[in-house]
Amino acid sequence: MSGQDHVAIFDTTLRDGEQSPGASMTLEEKLQVAEILDDMGVDIIEAGFPIASNGDFEAVCEIAKRADKAVIAGLARAINADIDRAGDAVRYARRGRIHTFVSTSPIHLEFQMKKTEEEVLEIITSTVSRARNLIDDVEWSAMDATRTPIAYLSRCVEAAIRAGATTINLPDTVGYATPDEYRAMFEAIRNAVPDADKAIFSVHCHNDLGLAVANSLAGVAGGARQIECTINGLGERAGNAALEEIVMALRTRADVLPYDCSVDPKFVTRASKLVSAVSGFPVQYNKAIVGKNAFAHESGIHQDGMLKNAETYEIMRPEDVGVKETSLVMGKHSGRHAFRQKLEELGYEIGDNAFEEAFRRFKDLADRKKHIYDEDIEALVENEIATQGEQIKVIALTVIAGTGGPQKAILTMDVNGRHETRECSGDGPVDATFNAIKEIVPHEANLSLYQVHAVTEGTDAQAEVSVRLEQNGRMATGKGADTDTLVASARAYVSALNRLMARQNRPDHHELRAV
Ligand code: KIV
Ligand code: ZN
């Protein structure tokens, strides 16, 4: 392939994705996500919004120091302090980028920015120049580009390129465009702007109408050569374009999408599971590429065809995206060595303490569950990763349930090293368990999501529970897995509570949400 056919993948899971309410990640979690993005060959990782909080700044610096291959970008509004802070954070990177943005649509100018078109043009020139004085790689984004008249958008793009922007991103911020319109916008701008060939054009699509991936590919047909996307399509509202869908569309339909992309799709399943575990956002079963059912063929006609020739119904092979045949893995006699090997095979590298705890829970699981599958180990390890360093832990739970009522829970928790036990009743065993948590750790948060699914088949399957808590506009999601649904529920609630408390102790970076 020729150089100009390379489409750069710009992953914004750690910035646009992490901004979605309830999806915030700890530093350790961000580092894990960044590592897998770098390993998989993502060209640019947008590591965060450095001015938003000290935590965001620290995460961008640390990711910048550790990244091997990817360019590390930090987001900045069109404000000098933002640009300087982003420059400070990405200067640790082998290759850093400042990504600065300003709104350009009439509705944003009038109601949000209260600025005239001419004022915004001046802001573009001064802020892009300031960024360019700090670093050679500067991306400029026109927020709400798709609702901006072409004539004005062209003037903005021209000003940004003249001031030194090397990438021009034209986002569909509100997920409003159709593929034809989005493609036409890129063609029109690239024709109208005299120095358009001096910059790489980029797509950034939100999925409000379910068109984010289609629009991204249409933008590429219109001349864009960078796609901004997130793992699992994580992002505010309906999310962003899903990286795994983009990468597999480019690969599977190379006949009509002749672009070269450096992401190795074998990593996408692992990346999807990691992002789901650390964000607490479950992946829908029928999600393209990474959903549990993405490669499952249930109907008789499909199964018959698949047995005769997999290509009758399968356009991609599960192994292309890193899905391995589900195997019966281990039992209660498996030792530490076998467990470590299995973790390596599944792509997990965890520290010694986390390993010991995961191994203890594996043994405990093996005592209660006859067959242990890869999915069981993954649920267990992801739970371990997501709950590392938590202040509050579930130690023991006994529940009295059944038709008689009232249902009762006797719960012991470790709160900052102190064990506390309470007995509570409730409308059902889950309610009783959650009431006991509230007695031990009083809080005002409301439960906004309670979801249970079975990790594998069978009545002894582990239940994976997701819980989302909300307090004063902040949200946090936690997950728990166990063969006992009530234990899994208690763990998920406590994990969400830990995250909510951690977020309450740091400045609210979501007041500075970019989108
Ligand atoms: O959607 C959007 O417009 C953004 C910008 C900050 C690039 O996320
Ligand atoms: Zn966005």
- CA neighbor of 180 nearest in space, from 157, 147, 211, 226: 211
Residue 161 corresponds to which tokens in the numbers above? 């390129």
pLDDT of 346: 78
Greatest CA separation found in the chain?
Answer: 78
Query: Which residues are close to ligand 2, an ion, with C-beta < 5 A?
Result: 16, 515
> Residue 509: is its pLDDT beyond 50?
no
User: Pocket around ligand 1: residues whose beta carbon is below 6 Å from it?
Assistant: 16, 101, 141, 143, 169, 171, 173, 204, 206, 514-515
Return the ligand number nearest the Cα of 229: 2
Q: How far does residue 512's CA lie from ligand 2's centre (Å)?
A: 13
- Contact of 49 with 12, CB cutoff 8 Å: no
Nearest CA to ligand 1 atom 7: 141
Q: What type of residue sits at position 336?
A: R
Ligand 1 pocket: which of 14, 97, 99, 101 to mutate (most atoms within 8 A of CB): 101
> Please, which pLDDT band fits residue 455 given cuts at 50, 70 and 90?
confident
Q: How far does residue 175's CA lie from ligand 2's centre (Å)?
A: 9
> Residue 301: is its pLDDT beyond 80?
no
Q: How far does residue 7's CA lie from ligand 2's centre (Å)?
A: 19
Residues 238-265 pLDDT 10s: 999 999 999 999 999 999 999 999 999 9
CA 229, CA 200: separation in Å to the nearest integer? 16
pLDDT of 510: 46
Peptide bond into 21 cis (omega under 30): no
Return the ligand number nearest the Cα of 99: 1
Atom index in ligand 1 nearest the CA of residue 173 equals 1
- Contact of 261 with 9, CB cutoff 8 Å: yes
Nearest CA to ligand 1 atom 5: 143
Residues 66-75 pLDDT 10s: 999 999 999 9
Lowest mean pLDDT segment, chosen from 7-11, 299-303, 324-328, 468-472: 324-328
Lowest mean pLDDT segment, chosen from 20-29, 78-87, 208-217, 383-392: 383-392
Check residues 371 and 428 and name the one with the higher pLDDT: 428
Residues 13-60 pLDDT 10s: 999 999 988 888 889 889 999 999 999 999 999 999 999 999 999 999
pLDDT of 1: 41
What is the mean predicted confidence (pLDDT) over 195-217?
A: 98
Nearest CA to ligand 1 atom 2: 173
**Segment of 177-181, 389-393, 481-485 carrying the highest mean pLDDT:** 177-181
Q: How far does residue 205's CA lie from ligand 1's centre (Å)?
A: 8
> Please, which pLDDT band fits residue 475 given cuts at 50, 70 and 90?
confident
Ligand 1 pocket: which of 14, 167, 202, 204 to mutate (most atoms within 8 A of CB): 204
At 315, give phi and psi (nearest 5°): -90, -15
What is the mean predicted confidence (pLDDT) over 475-497?
A: 89
Q: How far does residue 401's CA lie from ligand 1's centre (Å)?
A: 49
* Statement: the pTM of the whole predicted model exceeds 0.75: yes
Residues 80-123 pLDDT 10s: 999 999 999 999 999 999 999 999 999 999 999 999 999 999 99
What is the mean predicted confidence (pLDDT) over 347-366?
A: 86
Q: How far does residue 228's CA lie from ligand 2's centre (Å)?
A: 9
Distance (Å) of CA 280 to CA 100, 145, 275, 444: 29, 31, 8, 21
What is the mean predicted confidence (pLDDT) over 207-220?
A: 98
CA 282, CA 284: separation in Å to the nearest integer? 6
Nearest CA to ligand 1 atom 8: 515
pLDDT of 466: 85
